[in-house]
Structure 1
Amino acid sequence: MCGIHAVLSATAHDASPEVKRCLCNRGPDYLGHVERRVGDSSWTLNFTSTVLALRGDHVARQPLVDPDSGSVLCWNGEAWRIDGCRVDGNDGEAILGLLVKASASPAAERWDAILDIFRAVEGPFAFVYYDKPAEALYFARDRLGRRSLMIAQDATSGTLILSSIAEACDPKWKEVEPDGIYILGLDQTRSDSTSETRARLPVRQEWIAGGEADIVSGLEFWPSIGIFNKSLPSITSPLTLVSPSVGMLRQQLVDSLSIRVLGVPKPPSADTTCNTRVAVLFSGGLDCTVLARLAHELLDADQAIDLLNVAFENPRVVAQLKKDGHDELTDFYEACPDRMTGRKSHAELQNVCPGRTLRFVAVNVPYSETLAHRQQVISLIYPHNTEMDLSIGYALYFAARGQGFCSDSPAVETRQVPYASPARVLLSGLGADELFGGYSRHPSAFFRASYAGLIDELLLDVGRLGKRNLGRDDRAMSHWGKEVRFPYLDERLVRWAIETPAWEKCDFENGEDVTGVEAGKRVLRLLALELGMENVAKEKKRAIQFGARTAKMESGRVKGTTPIS
């Protein structure tokens, strides 16, 4: 995980101290700066990068620079594979090496050679690349939008800023769409006077090259990953434990988790007695608990897994409980829905993961602390600016911080000790609902229009993941020097999921009677059963803002779509 800030301008423009502070929060291991003049003009490019070192045996200092050509790469991501091959060592350095080779291509082939490198990357990323010899600036977020990249451009001066975070809550700041790779040609940048200077508008290049895009055009094709299966069944069989898709999902998740949890370096802040490198954002629900269970099978036995469970003091709920006659000393945190579910799932995990230290971290957030961090969270989630965005942002922000009270026992009565998780890699279950039909609107769509309606709803949900959630979530959680990894959003798993028929993922046609677990996300629920977690398999879906009680803190009447005041 890294912080990126790049400015193209005709006048001096560097990142402000506040922006640098936020960038350093994302990447606490190194801060670097590089400046380049654009051709023989007065225009300059200023690059600032910060680094959270999780790949290779050294801190790869950014911005990465090719000393021969002067080209510059700001890389924020994880290239798990390039052109199908696993990447060992530092991935940013590997990509820069490929880019330098591509830059040696004939002029007519240069752009395509560079684009093909980024098209071949599997993993989450955002980047800014300055090809100095060709005077071209490339930038993008990955196909799924798992990393944040913001853009602001001044139409009058031509100044363009690209950054992991917005410099201010200003309408000029937008998220770079994860719909392709953008190229800004700088060879025609004019420098005769500031008032007449214009930067050309970025040109979007498809994630799929040339004629291949024409072959797979249409809504069925989704971010250059695969063809969405829209076939309708002539006859279906109930989805059960012996259905092939259950075993296939297990293998897909194991493969995805392997590259995300193995080889994580020991955090520099961890003491010699602590061997915790990975934590799970843990509500106790189905998606995250399955990840914790499978991570247990992959990690060395001496590595602990932290389960980060967040609960908030919601003054509206507390007032109601007191009004109903509850003692003022009632532990309102333990009464949060996600806290109760988390305790139960922790107990079930311990039964099926013998010998593993599973540390339940109770992240309790007083209302006063929520208010103290309110403006910081608002600035991080921007341009998302509704009450629902803020509620979700609060939960992710404080959960990622990982400060609370812990015990190895699921019992509430066990002595709780203050604890700050040293893990710098966090696992999130995001994506499972969209891929496998976990929202309440999915059965509604099925009963309204059968499989055709369900498929349209699934296609809609998957297609807007990057735009609706992931940039916001990345900014909220990375603020603590943590990297969030999304095993359900591995490209290969997503390809398998969208190419799998809907009735092999959820089973609204047969209801609950066949297997004892609900129809939504049934393939994942059956996997939980196979892994020995019956209670987890039956756990109902609950939105994080309600489970952690961040929603409607002041008024029960405010709508989630209401803009933040």
Structure 2
Amino acid sequence: MCGILMYQNERSERKCLLGDYFIEFEGPEANNVDSIATKLASLHVDDVFIKECGYIVKRGPNYSGFKSVNKGKILLLSSVLSLRSPFTKQPIENDRFIIQYNGELYNDEIDASFNDTEFINNKLSQVLKDNVNENAIEEGIFNVIRSLNGEFAYNIIDTVTGKNYFGRDTIGKRSLSYCFIETTKELIVTSCNGSKIDDVYKKNFINCLNNVIYIYDSKSNEIIDTNFIIKSPYKVMEVVMENENEILALEDKLYLMLKESCHKRLVNIHPLGSKPTEKIDVGVLFSGGLDCSLITVLLCEIIIEKSLQDHFTLNLLNVAFENPRTSMQPDDVPDRKLGIKSSSEIIEKFPLVDIKFHKINVESEQYLKYKPIVLDLIYPKDTEMDLSIAIAFFFASKQSSLLNNKSSVLFSGLGADELFGGYHKFNNKSNEELIPELNKQINNIHDRNLNRDDKVIAINGVELRYPFLDEFVVEWSTSSVPLNLKRNKTILRSIARTKLLFRDISLEPKRAIQFGSKSAKMFDSKIKGTDKSS
């Protein structure tokens, strides 16, 4: 996982004080916000870039690389959390392209000894070898982006044409936003923009849409957003299926697809500095509900089947808030009780897997202390609902880093409700009403959830992985699972009950994290989720 920051300022009248620099910040003494800000200030780097650095450096605790191009007209900062050997520094460049990349790729061509950032670099280099025509080179760049399988965001600079290509994957699993000011020829592309910048930039930030390959052409000074990774949005299957054998076949297929999705997200975790003889700590955002329990069980099955018991520890991270309004303590909230119950069942079934249940208790004073920090991170999201969800994830990732052994990767069950109709509001809808709702849920998840969640978790140097949002799982689930199996997650409940043999977990009702952890309505019972938080 990495942080991406680029500032491009093409004003001809601007007095550039910078030369072309490449500066590395490695180790805790150098790679921290204060140290980097001081160094960049000494080089007369623009204030807006220095302010934005604070949101980026913390995302990559292992390394940060600063690059100045074209006498300071382009400034780049990439921070790196190295989870995949070999360690690869960023920004990375070849004869023509400068690349900033954040994410994880699962393409079959990438083996255990090959880093995915280097994989992209090599593919772009091959584009130059195969083509001499500029139109063909641009189409080659598109094809490289379209070939990537995983969860990612990117910024690619073509130093010959003066074009920037940036965006997110087809679903939008990594955060990315941009600010374009046409009159001053300024462009900022960043993993997290925050709210503590000058209004002239703040009001112009836009969260990148999923699936769009954005192009900034510095020569024409325009943003082009008409190119896509896949041609059309995901669209749900509109039929109903009653044949029992066909339904069982679908359950078998989904079970195997989810298991493969978990497998490829587990086995490539090799944090920088980890030793072959040491176990790798992997976290799960664990409320005890159906989605996260299903992911946990699949991870356990993989660990047993692949004889990985000596390689991984599963840390189940259960967040609960002290709610002063109701006088409810963390051990009394619904998610804590359910988490203990579900984790006990899983531990009992998989005694050979090293599973640890962690209580992450958040006192009301801590909530008030970090509330403004979380609101700053999730900007422009600012509702009470966004805050109550984001702050739970923030403490999960923050506290997980304070355990004896840090879990740098967290698995999440996000996507199950959107793909399989888990929200209560769907229960009484007709099929005709349900179809557009499901289409909207999966195609809007990048803005509704993913951008926000990535910002508050990554700031603590932790990466999220989403087995339900694997491209193959999403494409197959939308196009092949009939509507009647998408009410109240019918197909997932059947898999939990019949294939995984967890009957009680299969019956658990949907409960939103802000209500299960009691992070909502901490001090005011009358406040609404849609109200602006202050």
Same structural fold, with TM-score higher than 0.5 when normalized by the shorter chain: yes
Show the 5 A alignment for 1:39-438. 44-57=73-86, 59-66=87-94, 68-69=95-96, 71-81=97-107, 85-86=109-110, 88=112, 89-104=114-129, 105=131, 106-168=133-195, 170-188=202-220, 199-208=221-230, 213=231, 221-223=232-234, 227-230=235-238, 232-233=239-240, 236-237=242-243, 243-266=248-271, 268=273, 275-299=279-303, 300-302=308-310, 303-318=312-327, 332-403=329-400, 419-438=403-422
Q: Does 1:521 align with 2:526?
A: no
Pair 1:357–1:349, CA change in 2 (3 A): same
In the TM superposition, residue 558 of structure 1 has moved relative to its aligned partner by: 0.5
Q: Which residue of 1 aligns with 2:503?
A: 534
AA of the residue aligned to 2:251: V
CA apart distance, 1:236: 2.1
Looking at structure 2, the residues matched to 55 and 272 of structure 1 have their Cα atoms a distance apart, in angstroms, of 13
Alpha-carbon shift at residue 547 of structure 1 (Å): 0.5
Select the residue among 36, 60, 64 that pairs with 1:27.
60
- Please tell me the residue identity of whatever aligns with 2:93: V
| Percent of aligned pairs with the same amino acid | 32
Per-residue deviation, 1:21: 3.3
Looking at structure 2, the residues matched to 262 and 313 of structure 1 have their Cα atoms a distance apart, in angstroms, of: 36
Does residue 499 of the first structure (1) align with residue 479 of the second (2)?
yes
Q: Is the 8 A contact 1:79 1:122 kept in 2?
A: yes
SS in 1 for 2:325: helix
Q: How many residues align?
A: 487
Are the equivalent residues in 2 in contact too, given 1:140–1:149 (CA < 8 A)? Answer: yes
For 1:14-42, what per-residue CA distance to the aligned partner results, in whole angstroms no more than 9, with x for missing partners? 665553333121111111011211xxxx7
Question: Is 1:439 matched up with 2:423?
Answer: yes
Structure 1 residue matching 2:332: 3-state secondary structure: coil
Distance in 2, matches of 1:287 and 1:544, equals 12
Deviations 1:338-361 (A, max 9, x none): 000000001110121121121001
Shift in alpha-carbon separation, 1:110–1:200, aligned structure 2, 3 A: same
Give the whole-Å Cα distance in 2 for the aligned partners of 1:439 and 1:537.
15
1:228: Cα distance to partner?
A: 3.1
Q: CA deviation at 1:467?
A: 1.6
Secondary structure of 1:26 counterpart: coil
How many angstroms apart in 1 are the aligned matches of 2:5 and 2:159? 18
Distance 2:500 2:386 in 1: 34
Gap runs ≥5 in structure 1: 189-198, 214-220, 322-331, 405-417, 509-519
Cα distance change, pair 271–372 in 1 and its aligned pair in 2 (3 A)? farther
Contact 1:222–1:228 (CA<8 Å) still a contact in 2?
A: no
**Aligned amino acid, residue 8 of structure 2:** L
Change (3 A) 1:292 1:267: farther
CA RMSD of aligned residues (A): 2.3
Mean CA deviation greater in 521-530 or 164-173 = 164-173
Maintained 8 Å contact 2:175/2:454: yes
Structure 2 letter corresponding to 1:337: P
Letter in 2 for 1:98: K
Q: CA deviation at 1:469?
A: 0.8
**Consecutive unaligned residues in structure 2, runs of 5 or more:** 15-44, 197-201
Paired residue secondary structure (1:315): coil
Q: Deviations over 1:403-462 (max 9, x none)?
A: 49xxxxxxxxxxxxx9445111110000001111111122121xxx2x222222211211
Counterpart in 2 of 1:556?
Answer: 525
Aligned 8 A contact 1:311 1:338 in 2: yes
The question of whether the paired residues in 1 share the 8 Å contact of 2:194 and 2:378 is answered with no
Secondary structure of the 2:76 match is: strand
Deviation for aligned residue 1:143? 1.1
- Following superposition, the deviation at residue 499 of structure 1 comes to 1.0
For the residues of structure 1 that align with 2:169 and 2:58, how far apart are their CA atoms?
A: 22
- Is the Cα contact below 8 Å between 1:5 and 1:15 reproduced in 2? no
Structure 1 letter corresponding to 2:68: E
Contact 2:419 2:478 in 1 (8 A): yes
State the 1:51 CA deviation.
0.3
Distance 1:177 1:121 in 2: 17
Is residue 513 of structure 2 the alignment partner of residue 544 of structure 1? yes
| Deviation (angstroms), 1:78 | 1.2
Q: Does the CA-based 8 Å contact 1:267-1:422 persist in structure 2?
A: no
Find the residue that maps to 1:441 and give its secondary structure.
helix
Code of the residue aligned with 1:314 in structure 2: it is N
Q: 1:561 and 1:142, CA in 2 relative to 1: closer, same or farther beyond 3 A?
A: same
| Contact 2:85–2:271 (CA under 8 A) maintained in structure 1 | no
Contact 1:306/1:421, CA 8 A, preserved across alignment: no
| Matched-pair contact (CA < 8 Å) for 1:7–1:14 | no
Q: What SS does structure 1 have at the residue aligned with 2:524?
A: coil
Amino acid corresponding to residue 538 of structure 1 in structure 2: L
Secondary structure (helix, strand or coil) at the match of 2:519 reads coil
- Write out per-residue CA displacement over residues 247-266 of structure 1, whole angstroms, 9 at most, x where no aligned residue: 11110011101110013115
Query: Is the partner of 1:147 in helix, strand or coil?
Result: coil
Distance 1:272 1:132, change over 3 A: closer
> Are the counterparts in 2 of residues 474 and 484 from structure 1 also a CA contact under 8 Å?
yes
| 1:361–1:402 Cα contact (<8 Å) kept | no
Secondary structure in 2 matching 1:499? helix
107 and 272 in structure 1: CA distance in 2 versus 1, 3 angstrom threshold:
closer
Structure 2: distance between partners of 1:77 and 1:87: 16
Whether 1:466 aligns to 2:477 is no
- 3-state SS of the aligned residue for 1:178? coil
**How big is the shift at 1:203?**
4.0
User: Contact 2:281 / 2:408 at 8 angstroms: preserved in 1?
Assistant: yes
1:156, distance to aligned residue in structure 2 (A): 2.5
Q: Which residue of 1 aligns with 2:2?
A: 2
Partner of 1:192: none
**More divergent stretch after superposition (85-94 vs 245-254):** 85-94
TM-score normalised by L of structure 1: 0.82
Name whichever of 14-23 and 535-544 sits farther off: 14-23
Q: Distance between the aligned counterparts of 1:141 and 1:461, measured in 2? A: 18
Counterpart secondary structure, 1:311: strand
Q: Could you tell me how far apart the structure 2 residues matched to 1:143 and 1:168 are?
A: 27
The change in CA–CA distance for 1:264 and 1:114 in structure 2 (over 3 A counts) is: same
